[in-house]
Structure 1
Amino acid sequence: MAKYKTLIFILEGSLLNEKVAEQNALRQTLKLTGREYGPTERIQYKSLQEKTKLLGFDERIKLTLQEFFKNDWISAKGAFDNQLQKQDQLNKDVLPFLDEVKNKVNLILLTKEKKDVASYRMQNTELINYFSAVYFKDDFACKFPNKKVLTTILQQQNLTPATCLVIGTNLVDEIQGAENANLDSLWLAPKKVKMPISPRPTLHLNKLSDLLFYLELS
């Protein structure tokens, strides 16, 4: 059983409920344009999610907006981004898990958003208090899946790669980034979703609490 001493969380998805956040942002964007998010739109959105679930964040959002706003998707993106920044709902098992592992393993937070956006989304949560270091999009000259995002953190925090685990929900961005940096990864996704051939996460769990089995906590 692997002994992970450092857990590197990707804020968007592993901690913040991005599924709810994106759906709420879409609902509010439609409302701003005088449209409803009714039964037809929900079915349309669910069908689209099945087609885009393995895409990176930027491509997934682009296709979603193109589906709902057609030729006006670029102008809709500004409103969507603004609404997404207001979403701060945590996944339900996040705080109990963090309470369990705090002071027993090193916790590092990595966000894919700029500092002002990520900080705004976290301001009404207790998240920031759990982490020994926090990294924002502004801290890097590149973005996922470039390996330098994670190797920079390893170097700055003087971490041993073999004892680090990257926790994310997006295969194309986060799990591929961990693989590029030769780090173990946990893909948080429903069990019914098949484990991909590439990128291939080290662990595939549907609940963060299940990770406790893989940690040696004193």
Structure 2
Amino acid sequence: MNTFETLIFVPEGTLLNEKLAIKNALRKTLKYFDRSFGSSESIKYTKLSESFKLLDRKEQINLLLQNFFYDELNEAERVFNQDLQKQHRLIKDSAEFLNKIQDKFTLVCVGKESKSQLLPRLNDSGIVDKFNALFFADDFDKILPDKSIFINVVKDLGVDPDNSLIIGSTLSEEIQGAENSGLKSLWLAPKKEKIPIVPHPTLHLSRLSDLAFYLNIE
């Protein structure tokens, strides 16, 4: 059974409900342009989202904006990002899980968004004080999956890499980044999603609460 001392969360998609956030921001952007999210838009969104697993977060958003707002892309991007900053809905039971483990482990947040974009979301969600350390995209010169991201986090905090676990929801970014860094990882994704050969997460769970078993806590 694996035991860990440091849990490094990439919050977009593991704690923050990123699927709902992106969909809500898309709805608000359509409304800004006096358009609705009707049945045809819903079908289009569903079809586009089928390819999300193979894309990083930025590519997912760009794919949506380019297909829904090709003629007004710059303004749509501004409106979308502005509204995304307001999206703070958490994945079910994630706050309770953080409460359960926060005094037992070193909890670290490594966001894929800038501080100005992500910190308001974390504050509004009520989980920002659960972490021992917070990192944002603008703290680094590179972006995931570059190995320097997680390596620098581990070095800065002085934690044992062998007892650290990267927790992410996107294969191409955080799970690949963990593999590039030589760190263990947990891929949070539906059970129906098959574990790829590369990158290959250490753990694959559909619910964050199931991690309690591997942490030796009840």
Please state which band the TM-score falls in when normalised by the shorter chain. over 0.9
SS at match of 1:117: helix
Query: What is the SS of the residue equivalent to 1:11?
Result: coil
Moved more, 66-75 or 18-27: 66-75
Secondary structure of 1:166's counterpart equals: strand
Residue 125 of structure 1 and its aligned partner are, at CA, apart by 2.4
**Equivalent residues of 1:187, 1:201 under 8 A apart:** yes
Count of aligned positions: 218
What are the ranges of 5 or more consecutive residues in structure 1 without an aligned counterpart?
none
CA shift, 1:42, in A, is: 1.0
Distance apart, 1:31 and its partner CA: 0.5
Matched residue of 1:73: which SS?
A: helix
What SS does the corresponding residue of 2:12 show, helix, strand or coil? helix
Task: Supply the RMSD in Å over aligned alpha carbons.
Answer: 1.3
Question: Within 5 A, what are the aligned runs for 1:29-68?
Answer: 29-68=29-68
Q: Any residues of structure 2 matched to 1:72-91 within 5 Å, and which?
A: 72-91=72-91
Q: Map 1:6-21 to 2 at 5 A.
A: 6-21=6-21
* Deviation per residue, 1:103-123 (Å, 9 max, x gap): 111111111111122111122
Normalising by the residue count of structure 2, what TM-score does the alignment of the two structures yield? Answer: 0.96
Q: Does 1:124 align with 2:128?
A: no
Q: How does 1:97-112 map to 2 (within 5 A)?
A: 97-112=97-112
Whether the 8 Å CA contact 1:104–1:217 is kept in 2: the answer is: no
Aligned to 2:178: 178
Distance 2:205 2:194 in 1: 11
Structure 1 outlier segments of 4+, above 6 Å: none
Aligned-partner SS, 1:14: coil
- What TM-score, normalized to structure 1? 0.96
Deviation at 1:198, TM superposition (A): 1.1
Percent of paired sites with the same residue:
45
